Structure 1
Amino acid sequence: MTDRSASPRFALNHMTVPGLDMAGLFGLARRLGMDEVEIRNDLSENGSPAKGDIRAVPAGEARRLAREAGVTIISINALQRFNAWTPERAAEAVELADYARESGARALVLVPVNDGTGQADGERQRNLREALTALKPILAERGLTGLVEPLGFEICSLRSKREAAEAIAYVAGENVFRLVHDTFHHTLAGEDAFFPGLTGLVHISGVADPALAYPEMRDAHRVLVDERDRLGNAGQIRTLLEGGYDGPLSFEPFAQEVHDFQEPEREIAASMVFIRHAFEKAAA
């Protein structure tokens, strides 16, 4: 199989720079040499849409901004609690899928229930299959991919990529659904399985705090990947690329220290250099 690890490409998730509006996000991505971005519907301040939140930007305007900047919107992040399927969730899925189609986005990220409920063996698999069955025609009719993102937290109802892959196969959804491999969540879940052929997106972030045990790690600890990284990002991504994954590596740090960067372009560029050098070292 061809080794693609020598030429990783990057994308920019809006969570990296939530203080920028959508046009600012697109412009920053281009200055960094990226042409793929992820926009979000969960960037809020005091319960109101933030200036980067898609709820504040009409879909047609998002499409125009992306076209003018020369970027592709690879996903909208996210339909939350997707595996607790209700009439309200169905309506939200249709609303987000319509926005995705009209904005030119290619996929909708699907985030599972993460509050300690729905974890029982049998129950969680049943709930997952029900949700995927219902989402399949909603996404397919709009030409969208559903990106299923297991979360590594111990309270999550979907921690395993293997379980997600089995559910996708159960609903014959391979033409509609793909996995998100998040390097943070992969580590927290303790899962050693990789599914490069079924992976549609990779989220990258690091954890630098040496005092944290893995079960103690939270989104607030997720920083840009550098020499302090405890998650083994370079090894994870290399495994995926060597296995045939040919999509982008999308920066998704949540830490406030990243959001407060005065020069995010410089910091993100440095992380890109570090990751590329790590690949070169591993390939030597």
Structure 2
Amino acid sequence: MTDRSAPPRFALNHMTVPGLDMAGLFALARRLGMNEVEIRNDLMEDGSPGKGDIRTVPADEARRLADEAGVTIISINALQRFNEWTPARAAEAAELADYARASGAKALVLVPVNDGTGQADGERQRNLREALEQLKPILAERGLIGLVEPLGFEICSLRSKREAAEAIADVAGENVFRLVHDTFHHTLAGEDAFFPELIGLVHISGVADPALTYAEMRDAHRVLVNEKDRLDNTAQIRTLLAGGYDGPLSFEPFAQEVHDLKEPEREITASMAFIRRSFAKAAA
């Protein structure tokens, strides 16, 4: 049973510190008091493999590094365009799922088409259900969870957690799929539903720039959560925990100013402290 008085716990997504290799990511997580991490296949903006990217680290090496550091790999991020199912996508899904199983990762993040295509009513629902049906055996055979992550951008083919939840139910996928609640995308989508019972992972990041409208916000604006946050991360976190979510809050800022931090450990520690203070104040 969830202890709703317990403070939130945190995880570290490699996108927070893409300049670190995988061993460096795991070591930083432990210094921060975390034992859960997310690894990625998209660390470099130009598409080339980063030094900690799973494309440059064999799965057995990732498992060894995680075991030595005492961390759990909670997900691999990500199978892109998962709801545009093709033979190539099927092959990519199987390859990523094989890596996840061999590395000891628990889940595979599933990211939808985000280029303005596949948005038509009827079309997007069919595409989503087809992809989930095809992914079910790939994931189930390897003992993995598929983490469906709606994106709030206006051009995205899957913006709504409600649509994702309905599709998961329609394909009887509750044992294989969970949702990602991303505080940035939840805000941009204008969605008021949380579905804490279906959430398998929470991504957190803030936007501090006061000049941006929600429609103008992009990944490049996503920073560590602090007192200037415009996304009301702390209220979202409280709602999720009160609803029964008991998983980690995984830091996932994309802003270059975060990636360039000379002392990321200090800044991430400050963000955790801010969130914990806000949580404790609300609970008092």
TM-score when scaled to structure 2? 0.98
Name the counterpart of 1:33.
33
**Which region of structure 1 is more displaced relative to structure 2, 2-11 or 230-239?**
2-11
Residue by residue, what CA displacement relative to the aligned partner does 1:34-66 show, whole Å, maximum 9, x if unpaired? 000000000126442110111000000000000
* Cα deviation, residue 281, structure 1: 1.3
Q: Could you tell me whether the CA contact under 8 Å between 2:2 and 2:245 is conserved in 1?
A: no
Separation in structure 1 between the aligned mates of residue 5 and residue 184 of structure 2, nearest angstrom: 19
Q: Which runs of 4+ in 1 moved over 3 A?
A: none
Q: Could you tell me whether the CA contact under 8 Å between 1:5 and 1:238 is conserved in 2?
A: no
**What does residue range 114-133 of structure 1 map to in structure 2 within 5 Å?**
114-133=114-133
TM-score when scaled to structure 1? 0.98
* Cα deviation, residue 243, structure 1: 0.3
Name the counterpart of 1:56.
56
Residue by residue, what CA displacement relative to the aligned partner does 1:122-159 show, whole Å, maximum 9, x if unpaired? 00000000000000000000000000000000000000
**What does residue range 1-284 of structure 1 map to in structure 2 within 5 Å?**
4=4, 6-44=6-44, 46-284=46-284
Q: Could you tell me whether the CA contact under 8 Å between 1:16 and 1:254 is conserved in 2?
A: yes
3-state SS of the aligned residue for 2:55? helix
Q: Could you tell me whether the CA contact under 8 Å between 1:220 and 1:256 is conserved in 2?
A: yes
3-state SS of the aligned residue for 1:209? coil
3-state SS of the aligned residue for 1:223? coil
Closer/same/farther in 2, CA of residues 163 and 47 from structure 1, 3 Å limit? closer
Percent identity for Structure 1 against Structure 2: 88
Question: What are structure 1's unaligned runs of at least 5 residues?
Answer: none
Q: Could you tell me whether the CA contact under 8 Å between 2:12 and 2:251 is conserved in 1?
A: yes
Separation in structure 1 between the aligned mates of residue 22 and residue 221 of structure 2, nearest angstrom: 25
Question: What are structure 2's unaligned runs of at least 5 residues?
Answer: none
